Every structure is written in structure tokens, then in C-alpha cells.
């Protein structure tokens, strides 16, 4: 073979002989130009690692979702819906829109009717898992012989007490035969600031799904409440609770057995029956569980003095989250 013949047949030595799938693009008939391209074109090679990193990120996200799903399937429990202050339950364009917040979070707030030894108690609760775990105030269900819960769509359930913590005025109850409920997004109360817009949802006076709004008017208020399960029954059993603040008693005498916690103060209208309901930030995350409110209707017969005067308190949601393991374990203290 002559040198000219060798040169003539050289391109055939680089022919692509790999199996062909009809969905693959046809191979180039010659070596890609980028293999011998000048140095400036080397920048194109960066696309390979970038694409690889993007693919890895997608796979990681998929694995994370699968892990959460797998946990739920294996344990039969929903992980608590939990979020930081950057989570937006409502669209960012609707941040602070009370109507949007109410529409998004109302399905996660319930009315609670507890039958006591001598009367009844009406309060509210916040759904934290789709299978019916609900956080409320201990004083709403303390001493209950039976508990009925009504969701925002009008469905009724019976419930049992899972765990209580009277030192924090918290309780966890569980609906019987519930599934597919909408859990609330639990936010981060450490990021709350005075002046932040808040929305309160609950069942004051048994009026299910009542929505009010206001601001955070103070933080870290020392609120003292009773830990005696019989104390609240003397107040009419309507979910209102005697408490102390600033050296004064509100809604009655808390008694000798008390506990004090740091509370979020709000001027959003709270009334008897709001206890255990949700205090929600502008993005739709629950930042507190409403627990104590002053109503001058207990002090005066004048109708002009009845109702909320803009002095309400909520247990910070970070306190709730730190107490959940204890409540789920069935502790009753």
C-alpha cells in the first residue's frame, strides 16, 4: 500500500461502529472539533461537571422526598409539619393577606368540646399530622371524660388524650379514625418581632373558624396559669382560663398551684374558646398556641365592656415543638 493510499483510507479507521439505538442522535462522521480546539474553547467542557452537579442535586432531592415518604410508610405516622420563617404557606404575593392566610390555615384548626365531671369546656386545637394529632391547651381538655372535635369542613370525631404538660399548659390529643387531614406548618417563634402582623384562628364562644388579626404587641411576657385541672371549671368551662400577669389576676384566681411561661403578647382579638387555637404569621406559619386572654365581661355586666380588649397571650411554637416528644410518649403531668 502506498503512502497516498494510506492517507486516502485514514478517515475509515475512525468510523463509529457502536450499536445504534433509534432514539440516540447519529454519531459524528469525524472526531469532534472540540477535541483539538484551541484553549479558549476548553470552557465548554465545564458544562459536563455543571450538568452532572445539577443531576446529582435532582437525585438528592428525589432521595430526600423518598426518605420522608418511606419514614411515613414504615412508621404509619406523619412527620410534624414544620417550617422556618422563610416558608410561605401562602404565595409570596399574598404575604400578610388575612383572607389568603385564613383560607390556607383554617382547615388546620379545629373546635374542641370536652365533657367534664361538672360541665363542659370549649376550646380550639391545631392539627399537626394528617392522621389526627392535635395540639391544644392543657386547660381545654384537663379532666375531660370525653372529647369531641369538629373540623373546618363540619366533620365530627371523638378523640383521646395522648399526653399533657400542665407546666407548659399544653396537651396532645388524637382523633379516632381520622386520615387525610391538613396539618399546619409550624414556624419559628424565635424570629418573631414586635410589630409583626399576626392572624388568630379559633372557636370563640363555639363560633368555629373565627378569624381575627392584629400585631405582636410584646414578647417574653411572664404569664402565670393554674396547673390545677379543677381550676378552670369554676370559670364556666368555656375555654377561658384564670391567669396572672404583671402582678394582677385576670379572669379569676389561678389558685396556689401555678406555672409561669414566656408568652407572645398580641392585640389580635381573642375570646373564650380561642384557647388552643393558632396564632399565625404573615406567611401562614403557626408561631404560637393561643392560651390566655383577658375579657372584661367577667368583671362587668356592662355590654360596652364585654369581649376582648386586645390583651392576649400565646405559647411560642418553639416551646410546642420541644415538648412534642414528651407529649407523644404519653407523659401526663
Catalytic center residues: 139, 169, 275
What is the residue-wise DSSP string for 285-300?
Answer: -EEEEEEEEEEGGGT-
Task: Note the helical H segments in 24-97.
Answer: 47-75
Reading the block at residue 76, the C-alpha cell is 404509619
Q: Using CA atoms, how far apart are residues 280 and 200, in angstroms rounded to an integer? A: 6
CB 136 within 8 A of CB 232: no
CA 120-298-169 angle, 5° bins: 55
Burial class for 150, CB neighbours closer than 10 Å (0-12, 13-18, 19+): middle
- Beta pairing class for 197-202 and 156-165: unpaired
Q: Using CA atoms, how far apart are residues 156 and 168, in angstroms rounded to an integer? A: 28
Q: Using CA atoms, how far apart are residues 110 and 107, in angstroms rounded to an integer? A: 8
The residue to which cell 472540540 is assigned: 34
Q: Using CA atoms, how far apart are residues 146 and 144, in angstroms rounded to an integer? A: 5
Q: Using CA atoms, how far apart are residues 54 and 48, in angstroms rounded to an integer? A: 10
The residue to which cell 412527620 is assigned: 79
CB 285 within 8 A of CB 219: no
Q: Using CA atoms, how far apart are residues 270 and 267, in angstroms rounded to an integer? A: 8
Amino acid at each position: 500500500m502506498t503512502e497516498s493510499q494510506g492517507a486516502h483510507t485514514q478517515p475509515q479507521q475512525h468510523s463509529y461502529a457502536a450499536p445504534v439505538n433509534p432514539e440516540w442522535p447519529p454519531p459524528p462522521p469525524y472526531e469532534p472539533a472540540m477535541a483539538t480546539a484551541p484553549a479558549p474553547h476548553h470552557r465548554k467542557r465545564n458544562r459536563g461537571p455543571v450538568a452532572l452537579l445539577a443531576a446529582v442535586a435532582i437525585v438528592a432531592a428525589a432521595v430526600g422526598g423518598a426518605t420522608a415518604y418511606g419514614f411515613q410508610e414504615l412508621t404509619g405516622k406523619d412527620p410534624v409539619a414544620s417550617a422556618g420563617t422563610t416558608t410561605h404557606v401562602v404565595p409570596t404575593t399574598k404575604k400578610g393577606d388575612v383572607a389568603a392566610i385564613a383560607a390556607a390555615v383554617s382547615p388546620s384548626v379545629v373546635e374542641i368540646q370536652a365533657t367534664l365531671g361538672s360541665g363542659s369546656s370549649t376550646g380550639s386545637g391545631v392539627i399537626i399530622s394528617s392522621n389526627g394529632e392535635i395540639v391544644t391547651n392543657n386547660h381545654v381538655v384537663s379532666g375531660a371524660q370525653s372529647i369531641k372535635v369538629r373540623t373546618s369542613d363540619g366533620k365530627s370525631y371523638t378523640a383521646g388524650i395522648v399526653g399533657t404538660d400542665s407546666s407548659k399548659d399544653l396537651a396532645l390529643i388524637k382523633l379516632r379514625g381520622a386520615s387525610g387531614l391538613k396539618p399546619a406548618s409550624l414556624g419559628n417563634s424565635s424570629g418573631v418581632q414586635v410589630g409583626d402582623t399576626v392572624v388568630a384562628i379559633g372557636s370563640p364562644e363555639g363560633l368555629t373558624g373565627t378569624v381575627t388579626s392584629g400585631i405582636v404587641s410584646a414578647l417574653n411576657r411572664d404569664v402565670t396559669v393554674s396547673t390545677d385541672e379543677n381550676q378552670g371549671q369554676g370559670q364556666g368551662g368555656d375555654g377561658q382560663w384564670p391567669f396572672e400577669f404583671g402582678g394582677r389576676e385576670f379572669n379569676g384566681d389561678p389558685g396556689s398551684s401555678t406555672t409561669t411561661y414566656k408568652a407572645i403578647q398580641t392585640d389580635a382579638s381573642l375570646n373564650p374558646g380561642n384557647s388552643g387555637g393558632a396564632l399565625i404569621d404573615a406567611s401562614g406559619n403557626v408561631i404560637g398556641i393561643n392560651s390566655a386572654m383577658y375579657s372584661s365581661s367577667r368583671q362587668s355586666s356592662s355590654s360596652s365592656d364585654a369581649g376582648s380588649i386586645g390583651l392576649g397571650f400565646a405559647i411560642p411554637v418553639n416551646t410546642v415543638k420541644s415538648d412534642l416528644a414528651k407529649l407523644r410518649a404519653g407523659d401526663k403531668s
